[in-house]
Amino acid sequence: MFRRLLTLALIEVLCSGARCFHIRYIIESKRSQLDPEIFLNTTEILQKYNYQPETHYVYTEDGFELKLFRVRRSGPPVVLVHGIGDSSDGWVVAGPKYSLAFLLADAGYDVWLFNCRGNRYSRGHTRDIPKEEYWDFSFEEIGALDLPATVDYVLSATRSPKLTYVGYSQGSTTFLVLCSLRPEYNRKIDQAVLLAPVAWLVNIKHPLVGVVSRNIDALSSFFKQKKIYELANRGELNQLYHAEVCNVSSPLNTLCLLEISLIFGLNSLTDLVSDRLPIITTHTAAGFSTKTLLHFVQAVNSKRFCRFDYGEALNLRRYSSPKPPDYDVSRVTVPMTMFVSESDWFASPEDVKILRNRVRGKVRYIPIDKSLKFTHLEFIFGSRMNDIVNGPVLEILNTLR
């Protein structure tokens, strides 16, 4: 089966997106054998468990159409912001016993699920623009344009003076961009909960980061030459592959563990919500721009949390400086809680300490001991996250009510 799926993937590439009837036929026959939830979107998953989601459309200053999902409750509004390459799916696919969106709604919070520009839910634009122009954004535009539009929309819809922000990984990066570049939004957020916050990447522990960072120019040239603007766009073949191998009862699950371990440092598939593993892994590729990846790699090389580096000439035109300016996180005054694991390859305690020392908002720091081997992916998909993350998050938010 695994070899057949690889063969289908190769044929799909060779078809260059053309309609290959025999591939589609096999896909449809395979779909019928799988858990239907693998193919559900955020609202359909919520509906399956008897939650009644709403869909809202938000438009940014530069014309992007963002899709937000809401589980309406009478409590304070909470906006959940996903990580890189993910979507609102990330907050629901672990199921009602584990996913934070369900737990917050059950606790009476008015839950809003954000989707950044370019992911599977937020692909619209008010103008017909070339693909290259559409994907010309990094996490800066998400923080400086998507989040302000979202915050204003949510506050208007709920008639609330402030909201609570929960960001995971890149969702914390974009929060810091928002409050640094548009400091007036500090007054609109009563509390920020940052799960595995990513800003400085001086001490990133990923074993492959050195190879990637040393070859950033070649990587950038490759993307331009091949006109690759987007990464991690999920497709049906991708879904079928992960549904097949990412199952604890599958004889091929070693392939799944190998992939997730290589990317995130996961120790065992059982560290994730194992009975939901096929659903989790088939939903986590929602698309993101190549420019976003390059921006993070630049941060590794520069050892700074700064704006995108276009090269000296373009930097002078854009920033009036040969080097991109730093994000001034001293402007961030929102009270924050930072959950940080000592086993996280991406958000190291050493780098988060740099952030803690530079923001002006009150910071509550919650370390997760290295002995727990709690990795980056486990913050929203982990089998232990209720005790380690979700329970404390609910306690923190309840103190504000």
Q: Among this protein's residues, is 348 annotated catalytic?
A: no
Tell me the backbone φ, ψ of residue 12, rounded to 5 degrees.
-60, -40
As a 3-state breakdown, the chain gives helix, strand, coil percent values, each rounded to 5, of: 50, 15, 35
Token digits of residue 372: 């727990």
Q: CA-CA distance, 382 to 221, in Å (whole number)?
A: 37
Instruction: Work out the end-to-end distance of the chain between its first and last CA atoms, rounded to an integer number of angstroms.
Output: 52
Distance of CA 373 to CAs 242, 255, 340, 368, Å? Answer: 24, 21, 12, 9
Question: Among residues 169, 180, 213, 341, which one is catalytic?
Answer: 169
Enter the DSSP assignment of 306: B
Please state the separation of Cα 86 from the chain's center in Å: 4
Q: CA-CA distance, 278 to 258, in Å (whole number)?
A: 15
Q: CA-CA distance, 155 to 160, in Å (whole number)?
A: 5
Q: CA-CA distance, 120 to 143, in Å (whole number)?
A: 18
Closest C-alpha to 151, from 86, 78, 75, 84: 78
Token digits of residue 45: 């998953």
Tell me the backbone φ, ψ of residue 210, rounded to 5 degrees.
-65, -40
Three-state DSSP state, 244: helix
Three-state DSSP state, 249: coil
Question: Among residues 172, 343, 376, 383, which one is catalytic?
Answer: 376
Q: Among this protein's residues, is 156 annotated catalytic?
A: no
Q: CA-CA distance, 158 to 345, in Å (whole number)?
A: 37
In the block, residue with structure tokens 């659903």: 279
Crossing angle of helices 21-31 and 2-14, in 10° steps, is: 140
Q: CA-CA distance, 177 to 239, in Å (whole number)?
A: 33
Token digits of residue 241: 């592959």
- Just list the catalytic residues: 169, 376
